[in-house]
Each structure stands twice: as structure tokens, then as C-alpha cells.
Structure 1
Amino acid sequence: MTTPTVSHGAVEHTPVHFDDLDAMGILHNSRYAVLVERAVSQWWADRGVSFSGGRPTSPDAFNAVREYAITFHRPVSSVGDIAVHFWLAKLGTTSADYRFRVTSPDGTEVYAEGRRVNIRLDPATMRPAPWTDHARDLAGLLLTD
């Protein structure tokens, strides 16, 4: 499988399954958020920031989506892998401002693009909490600046 070469951020491949398609045979609009979630989560998990046994492997894994916006350009009309290209436009004290593109596996067709903001939470208070130095180091790999 060909992975697009990008100048910033990361690309993760994720599958579109038959049950992701709607009655018209195209990827249901709600599934784009799931595909982006899977791609971003996989990237962080590959670097030790995930969940195991229902518990976070790092305090930075405990975060929630605060904002999500997407613009659709053309429908995904088949099952199989797609690529999600994502990067960080900004890393704040408690927030991570992502941008993303959902593309064909080789990156030549853009199906959708958007923005997603995550907030790191303190699991005890459910209030925003600062990212750790470890997360900041990893996030540096995704920042566009």
C-alpha cells in the first residue's frame, strides 16, 4: 500500500468496512469522525499513549474532543483502506488543535477535511489539565511550525 508523502504531520491508514456505508452505498457522514479518531488514536498508541485494561497507559491518554468540524468534498463509495493525514496546528496548555484530511490511500483524492480540538482532562476532577512534557515532545512531531 502506498502512503502519501507529507511535509508535516502523520498519515495513518484505516479501513472502511461494509457497515460504515449508508443506504446509498457511501460512507456515512458520522463515520468520518470515527476514522479520524482511529487514526489519531493509533498514532498515539504506537508511541505508548493509549488505554490497556480500561486504564490509560499515560495521563495524556485521558482526553476528550471539545470541537469537531468537517467539510465533505466527495463521497467514499467503497470498502477498503483510506488514509487520514493529520497534524497539530497548535498545542495549548490543555488543548490540542488538530487539522485533518481524509484521502485515498495514496493521498491523491481528498474526501473530506476538517478540524478537531482535544482537551486533556484530569480523571479525578474531569477538568482541563496540562499536557505532560512527554506528550509535548511527541506532539512536536505533529506540529506544523
Structure 2
Amino acid sequence: MSGHVEPFTVHFDDLDPMGIVHNSRYAVFLERALSQWWGERGVSFAGGRPSSPDAMHAVAEYSISYRTPVRGTGDIGVHFWIETLGESSAVYRFRILSADGATVHAEGRRVNVKLDPGTLRPAPWTEDARRTAEPLLAVRTEEVAQQR
């Protein structure tokens, strides 16, 4: 399995009046999982400043398909991986899973564009970001080389 599964806890304030996770919270779950993963690798914001130029990015696209509601509070998993890492973009795919991974509650796609901090225009990812992202790539570089 490519990517990473971040354990996550659904809290009472994530629920709608019917006792299921509100649709808007799925995007928040992904955001927090990605922030946790990158933050553990030194790419974050501290004191309102980016720790790395690669922390400066914006979401250019977001789509999600809801499959089975998450009912109530408790543990889930946020599985994410990078489908494509371009010059200045990253296409993430993700799934919101039951804690045991047997149920897919939602799945989707998110596109990030890395921005130049001064101009807020697209800018290339650094080599450090590319190395850090390797474990998230759907088809890793060495796998492509083996296929040739």
C-alpha cells in the first residue's frame, strides 16, 4: 500500500445533528493528517512563519466522494498518498477509513500548488521536499526503474 495512514479521532463537535460526521469535516481531517505528517518532517508553520519554503502552498482543487457515513465518535484512519508530484504541484489522493481499514467512508483528490512566499505565484518544490515526499509517492522512483 502506498502512502501513509494517519490514525485520527472523531470528536463530538465533528458530528452533525444526525450523529454522523458533517461533510465539511472530512476536508479538515485530511488537512490535519497532512499537517501532522509534514510537520513531523520539519515542514510546518511556527510563530506565523513557514519552517521551509515548501510550507507555502495553496489548494487549487478539491473533490470528495462520500461512501458510508462515519457514525459517532471514535477512531478512524486518514490514508493519503501523492499520485503525481509535478514541478510546482502535488496531486494527493486520500481515503477516510474505519479504524480497522475495512470500510472506506470517503475518498477524494486534492491538488496543492507550491507558492513563492514573495510573489504568491507557483514555484518549484525544493529537492528536500521531493526527497521527503518519496514515501508518499504512489509509484516510487526505484519501482519505475525496476519496471524498465
Does the TM-score normalized on the shorter chain lie above 0.5? yes
1:14–1:38 CA contact under 8 A, matched in 2: no
Matched, 1:101 2:95: yes
State the distance in 2 between where 1:99 and 1:132 align: 21
**Alignment-mate amino acid for residue 110 of structure 1:** V
Higher share of residues assigned helix: 2
Deviations 1:108-135 (A, max 9, x none): 1110000000011112111111100000
Deviations 1:52-90 (A, max 9, x none): 111111110111111000010000111122100100110
Name the Cα RMSD after superposition.
0.8
What TM-score, normalized by structure 1, do the two folds share?
Answer: 0.93
Structure 2 gap segments, 5+ residues each: 140-148
Structure 1 gap segments, 5+ residues each: 1-6
What TM-score, normalized by structure 2, do the two folds share?
Answer: 0.91
Aligned to 1:4: none
The structure with the largest alpha-carbon Rg is: 2
Aligned to 2:77: 83
User: What does 1:63-142 align with in structure 2 at a 5 Å threshold?
Assistant: 63-142=57-136
**Alignment-mate amino acid for residue 65 of structure 1:** V
